[in-house]
Amino acid sequence: MIIGIPKETMNHEHRVGLIPSDVERLKKSNLKHQILVQKGLGEAIGFTDNMYQEAGAEIIADPKNVWEKSELLIKCKEPLEDEYHYLRKDMILYSFLDLAYSKELAQALVKSKVTSICGETIPGPKNNYPILAPMSEVAGKLAAQLVAEYFCTQKGGRGILIGGCAGVPPARVVVVGGGVVGMNAAKTLVGMGADVWVLDVDMHKVATHPLVIENKVKLLYASEEGIRTALNGADGIVGAVLVTATQTPKVIKREHLKLMNPGGVIVDVACDLGGCIETIHQTTHDNPTYFVDGILHYGVPNMPGVVARTSSICYSNESMPYVLSIANEGWREMLKMPGALMGLNAYDGKIGLKTVADAFGLPYVDAKTLIH
């Protein structure tokens, strides 16, 4: 199979589809595989062209050649609009997609008839989303760092130290959502000395977390009363709500912002699927923030792209079982792996996620009908 790995084109997105050691694993799995790597793919994060060549890849200067020659194309983030024309019926696209947020991308998948496999929608054998979870961990920990950074005056914040100091209380930060993103953000915030509150609707899920058991965070139900109690006098919010293959519900409304301290900070990790804060919209790493009602908002959808070495290693390692199966056995066999069926996001002009197909009025294909 001809397998291509192009450079990402999203703003400050330095992650790679596969790291060199996994390219070597892929090549050794079948020496007939031809692996095309775009020149400079991993240079920004210490993975040189020479490393990829030693792993068995061929370095290609023109991204057009990588896209057009590849039977299996491996990315990390979704194709951007100026890449849609590369999609075609005889291509398998393996990538994160955030499809529920982009009708335009969904339409492009339908129009091109590409076969699209998406790591973020694969629950895996333990229903723990093995490819998405490491990115969620990275995003949660990074969100905590960003809250602390944007509290500083030169970043637009009100000039507070997240952990306080002798005689001065720590910042209060509210984490909306107690999943992988939220609890990793909470863990990091606790480590920095913040006063951390967590809002969720599934008390049974969150109540057994060590941070809750050890009383290191305050856990409240995400009702109107709980939201108002947590946000009253809060300095920061981390948005960490995820509903797989569905746009994120708006949990925090604009009216709630007035409960926060002036100059507060919001980092909404969920903005890649629309965000859980009513006032959030997507921004870029070059222009990451804006203010609404005196509250700083950070809405970069590809946050892990700036800690790309860590993120790429996680993404590549967790993707390998599925990539190896696609390359050596075919995508239909890959879908037969435990918990992999939801990985099919598009096939032959139809969308493989019913929630997305219904939301955008696009034709739907049940992946179960495609495997035998």
pLDDT in tens, 149-194: 999 999 999 999 999 999 999 999 999 999 999 999 999 999 999 9
CA distance 118 to 122: 7
Q: Specify whether the CB–CB gap between 104 and 82 falls below 8 A.
A: no
Half-sphere exposure of 215 (CA within 13 A, CB side): 0
Lowest mean pLDDT among 187-196, 240-249, 273-282: 240-249
CA distance 57 to 4: 9
Lowest mean pLDDT among 22-26, 86-90, 302-306, 361-365: 302-306
Residue 213 phi/psi, 5° resolution? -60, -40
The pLDDT confidence band at residue 343, using thresholds 50, 70 and 90, is: very high
The number of helix segments (H) and strand segments (E) in the chain equals: 12, 15
Q: Specify whether the CB–CB gap between 277 and 266 falls below 8 A.
A: yes
Q: Tell me which residue of 118, 32, 53, 47 sits closest to 328, measured CA to CA.
A: 32
Domain ranges in the chain are 2-122+308-370, 136-301
CB atoms within 10 A of CB 192: 17
Mean pLDDT of the chain: 96
Q: What is the pLDDT of residue 108?
A: 98
> Which token pair is 112?
């091109």
For the chain, the C-alpha Rg in angstroms (whole number) is 21
CA distance 190 to 196: 7
Residue 237 phi/psi, 5° resolution? -135, 135
Report the pLDDT averaged over residues 47-67: 98
DSSP letter for 119, please. G
Report the pLDDT averaged over residues 211-231: 97
**pLDDT over 70 at 89, yes or no:** yes
Q: Specify whether the CB–CB gap between 19 and 8 falls below 8 A.
A: no
CA distance 35 to 20: 11
CB atoms within 10 A of CB 109: 29
- Helix ranges restricted to H, the chain: 20-29, 49-54, 63-69, 103-112, 132-150, 180-191, 203-207, 210-213, 224-231, 308-329, 331-335, 354-360
Half-sphere exposure of 103 (CA within 13 A, CB side): 5
Q: How many residues does the chain have?
A: 372
**pTM of the predicted model as reported, rounded to 2 decimal places:** 0.91
Q: Which residue has the tokens 């996994």?
A: 22
Q: What is the pLDDT of residue 244?
A: 67
Q: At what angle do helices 308-329 and 20-29 cross, to 10 degrees?
A: 10
For residues 316 and 249, the model is more confident at 316
The pLDDT confidence band at residue 242, using thresholds 50, 70 and 90, is: confident
136-301: same fold as 2-122+308-370?
A: yes
Report the pLDDT averaged over residues 102-116: 97
Greatest alpha-carbon pair distance for the chain in Å reads: 67
Residue 152, SS3? coil
Residue 164, SS3? coil
Q: Which CATH number fits domain 136-301: 3.40.50.300, 3.40.50.720, 3.30.360.10, 3.40.50.20?
A: 3.40.50.720
DSSP codes joined into one string, 236-272: EEEE----TTSPPP--B-GGGGGGSPTT-EEEEGGGG
The pLDDT confidence band at residue 101, using thresholds 50, 70 and 90, is: confident
CATH superfamily, domain 2-122+308-370, is NAD(P)-binding Rossmann-like Domain (3.40.50.720)
Report the pLDDT averaged over residues 262-267: 97
